[in-house]
Amino acid sequence: MAASEKVKTFNELFKQRLNRQHVLSLSACAHCGMCNDSCHYFLADGDPKMTPAAKADRIRSVYKGFYDWIGKFVPFWVGARKIQTDGDLEELKDVFFGSCTGCRRCTLNCPFGVDMAAIVGLTRSCLVDVGVAPEGVLTVMKDQWETGNQMAITPEDYIETLEWLEEETQMELDDPDFKVPIDKEGADFVYVINPREIKYAPLSLQAAFKIFHVAGLDWTMGSSGWDNTNFGLFSGKPDLGGHMSNLAYNHAKKLGVKRLVVSECGHGLRSTKWEGPNWGKANPLPFEIISILELMVDLINSGKIILDPHKNTDPVTYHDPCNLSRSGGMTEEPRFCLKRACIDFREMTPNRSDSYCCTGGGGAMSMSEYSKRRLSVSKMKAEQIERTEAASVATACHNCVDGLTDVIKHNDLKYDFGNGKPKLLPVKNVCEYVADAIVIPKELPERKPRVREKVRQGKILVVDDQPDVVTYLEALLQDTGYDVVTAFDGAEGIQTAKDEQPDLITLDVTMPGKSGVSVFNELRSTPGVDKIPVFIVTGDIDFRQLMYQRTVEAPEGFMQKPINEDVFLMTVDRLLETSRHERELTHEPS
């Protein structure tokens, strides 16, 4: 689309999509400044361009150019304008994608009810349709349209991961009868999840499975419509929103379930429960939609699960996801669960609907070009966490887990667990604390320490520029039974991969010379090593561009440093088992 066509199309789309809610929010602002102290972008360094009113004025001026009678005839009096160049579009992209997460904290403090998120959604939708948007957002939208999930996970990979998690949960519970039901017709509920739980972070999914099993619930996973995330919300595109919602609704109808339970995802619950039925013209729905938080409250109250808070003795604080608290009103359910699962629960201040954003909302985690800005304004959230002196942070959103993990690392927030070596605070979902605190009933086998049934085999290439990390991972993997080869920079890593033909590569992102990002892209583009699974193990946030701005197939796994041994080894096992299974299906040699 030529520049003039983009501009013309944007202006036409803006006029077509403007509705009463938008007009109210674009007209009502009195520039009183009440919103200033609500925005973490402004509070971080006091830049007046980062006030919500100033950001909204970038598109408010366009509204005045079209519809304000003074703006039509004497535009400079009221700051009216029309979008005229590609540069104007890029400015809007920077403001409405890169400088606002749509958290709505400013809206709650606005005396006129100006809905900044609605303004952001309108502007983003017009930008997306002329192709002026972060590459990660466009990629995820494309994947949701084409594959039904935001990480383009194939049906085969999805089923294989569930089968692997079934085995892992059997080992944790020491119960070979545990099963992960798939497409069980007539079950009480179907569980819809964040693709992150399948691709990169299975512990929260395993925790949910444990809760369902101990409580004796009648449940199922779905083979379709299982992604509860929805970039229709983040892109302002109700057609995509309806598409993703209807995938979940239609499969739930097909299974004949009574309820659709949404895993811990702020925008996922909002999109699935509140926005989706309108986007997809799906009302009335023949089933109830609830959060796993509500389900856990019911299980605790009914005595179906019994919690021992002494299993979680370190102090825990809770971050309120914006879409759960401000846009969903769900503030007490997670606290109910945490206060019964943990000995020492500590509130952040402010909290609930007044809490600060994790910095990763509104799709920001997929916009790697704005990562530095996102973390530069993380001060408010970091100070909230630090004041609690907690040892870990709980939240009810996978997006927030990633956002908070970045905030904690960027601001070096640590806790001394008693060995004199402070560690960065871990961030976990609420269900993980609940699962850890569950008392196993007598009729179920007592939980035993996790023991590997057999020594694993395979060759693993460890690529990292830090000798102590290489030594640590080499020893950990060798003790588990793997053969290990090592490399200390990107060029050496590529050559070693060609020479040694490992079964798996663990790769750091930040290295001298060739970065891990360029090494990964070269590996994916080099015949002979392009099919080797890659496990990103890094302390740098640049790895996210490999997940969302995909010029090649995304990495099979990732983990942020510091390394959790159990999760690391579980991921290595999963990636190797999946790779072997794929080779068997294609009759490739091991």
Task: For the chain of 590 residues, list the mean pLDDT of each consecutive stretch of 10.
Answer: 82 96 95 95 95 97 89 78 93 98 95 96 98 96 97 94 94 92 98 95 94 98 98 97 98 98 97 96 96 97 95 97 95 97 96 96 93 94 97 97 95 91 94 96 54 65 90 88 90 91 89 78 88 85 65 78 83 84 64
pLDDT of residue 453: 47
Regarding whether 290 and 237 lie in a shared domain, the answer is yes
| 272 and 329 part of one domain | no
Domain C-terminal end among 133, 163, 188? 133
According to the model, what pLDDT value does residue 1 have?
Answer: 54
Between the two ends of the chain, the Cα-to-Cα distance in Å is 47
The answer to whether the CB of 57 falls within 8 A of the CB of 69 is no
In a domain, 142, yes or no: no
Residue 468's pLDDT is what? Answer: 85
Closest among 554, 583, 494, 587 to 200, alpha carbons compared = 554
Do 113 and 205 reside in the same domain of the chain?
Answer: no
User: Is 453 contained in some domain?
Assistant: no
Residues 8, 405: Cα–Cα separation, whole Å: 41
Number of domains present in the structure of the chain: 4
What lies within 8 Å, CB to CB, of 34 at 6+ separation is: 109, 110, 111
Give the model's pLDDT for residue 72. 76
- End position of a domain, from candidates 284, 302, 320: 302
Q: Are residues 203 and 264 in the same domain?
A: yes
Q: pLDDT value at position 449?
A: 44
pLDDT at 544: 66
Q: Which domain holds residue 253?
A: 151-302
- Asked if residue 446 belongs to a domain, the reply is no
Cβ-based neighbour number of residue 586 at 10 Å = 8
pTM over cut 0.85? yes
Same domain, 109 and 17: yes
Contact of 380 with 356, CB cutoff 8 Å: yes
**Phi, psi at residue 200, to the nearest 5°?**
-135, -25
Clarify whether residues 114 and 24 are in a common domain.
yes
Q: Is residue 12 part of a domain?
A: yes
Question: Do residue 345 and residue 246 come from a single domain?
Answer: no
On the CB side of 250, CA atoms within 13 Å amount to: 12
Residues 179 and 220 in one domain: yes
Residue 455, pLDDT score: 47
3-state DSSP call for residue 440?
coil
The enclosing domain of 42 has a CATH number of 1.10.1060
19: in domain? yes
DSSP 133-201: S-HHHHHHHHHHHHHSSTT---HHHHHHHHHHHHHHHHHHHT-TT----BS-TT-SEEEEB-HHHHHT-
Write down the pLDDT at residue 129: 98
Rounded Cα distance between 491 and 511, Å, is 10
pLDDT score, position 280: 96
Nearest to 203 by CA among 398, 412, 421: 398
DSSP characters for 522-586?
HHHTSTTTTTS-EEEEES-GGGHHHHHS-SSPPPSEEEESSP-HHHHHHHHHHHHHHHHHHHHHH
pLDDT at 184: 98
Check whether residue 427 and residue 361 sit in a common domain: yes
pLDDT on residue 538: 81
* 527 burial type by CB count under 10 A (0-12 exposed, 13-18 middle, 19+ buried): exposed
Which residue among 383, 407, 437 closes a domain? 437
Residues 121-135, buried b or exposed e (16+ Cβ, 10 A)? Answer: bbbbbbbbbbebbbb
**Pair 478, 577 in one domain:** yes
Q: Does 264 share its domain with 209?
A: yes
Residue 445 lies in a domain: no
Report if residue 454 sits inside a domain: no
Distances (CA, A) of 305 to 178, 221, 299, 440, 485: 17, 21, 6, 8, 46
Same domain, 110 and 249: no
| Among 217, 180, 184, 171, residue whose Cα is nearest residue 198 | 180
Sheet holding 483-487, edge to edge: 483-487, 459-463, 504-507, 534-538, 557-560
Q: Is residue 482 part of a domain?
A: yes
Q: Indicate which CATH number applies to the domain containing 520.
A: 3.40.50.2300
Cα angle 469-475-481, degrees, rounded to a multiple of 5: 135
